[in-house]
Chains A and B, each alone.
Chain A
Amino acid sequence: QVHLVESGGGLVKPGGSLRLSCAASGFTFSDYYMNWIRQAPGKGLEWVSYISGSGFIIYYADSVKGRFTVSRDNAKNSLYLQVNSLRVEDTAVYYCVRGYNGEPYYGMDLWGQGTTVTVSS
């Protein structure tokens, strides 16, 4: 069964860091672009970053560029998001999401349950 499971969220002070992880199962992980999408409390969805199956192509939203780093370990079927210099406005549920048909632009067909990041002093 295809599955994405995020972990690593928590409560952190402004300026702090976290490493979010996503464990994939049930499909050939290295064949797929993977995305991080976030949703602030009571707000809409916001694309954060995507990474190609090889890990060589990476893009970030302007709102996180220079502070967040996406990576993947295909041997471990895992996706990561290192989030640094956190701000109150980064508070959100962070979803790990698979690109449909392996690409980032057709849509996103498989979503994890999300991990919550709360930035507060």
Chain B
Amino acid sequence: QSALTQPASVSGSPGQSITISCTGNDSDVGSYNLVSWYQQYPGKAPKFMIYEVSKRPSGVSNRFSGSKSGNTASLTISGLQAEDEANYYCCSYAGTITSLLFGGGTKLTVL
């Protein structure tokens, strides 16, 4: 199955809000409320940011929020900070055969 579709890059100024989309289909994002999001700095392991579409693990800033509509999930970062500049990946459960699909990743630049 194909990877989920994310924009290659997004940018925003400090204090602004940005949204990163993650588009799948009826077999993955559209079928399950099991989308998660990860933040990755270059050369580092990813960090778990969002699970079950919109829930934040302990310790993750409430500036990060998730949502879903149909086959598209979204990650919104409000009050952008320089430290938010990183790559972001979505991931969706896609059933027992395909199991887990990642998006191609989005590079966030804080201007």
State whether A45 touches B99 (Cβ < 8 A): no
Contacts across chains A and B counted by CB atoms under 8 Å? 65
Most buried by A among B50, B57, B99: B99
State whether B45 touches A100 (Cβ < 8 A): no
Is the interface on chain B under 10, 10 to 19, 20 to 34, or 35 or more residues? 20 to 34
Query: 1/0 per residue A79-101: CB within 8 Å of B?
Result: 00000000000000001000010
State whether B48 touches A100 (Cβ < 8 A): yes
A14 within 8 A of B: no
Q: How far is the CA of A59 from the CA of B95 in the complex (A)?
A: 11
- Chain A residue nearest in CB terms to B96: A59
Q: How far is the CA of A115 from the CA of B33 in the complex (A)?
A: 31
State whether A105 touches B93 (Cβ < 8 A): yes
B→A interface (CB under 8 Å): 3, 32, 34, 36, 38, 40, 45-48, 50-52, 57, 89, 91, 93, 96-97, 99-105
A-B contacts, 8 of them at CB < 8 A, read: A45-B89, A50-B100, A100-B48, A100-B51, A104-B99, A107-B57, A108-B38, A109-B51
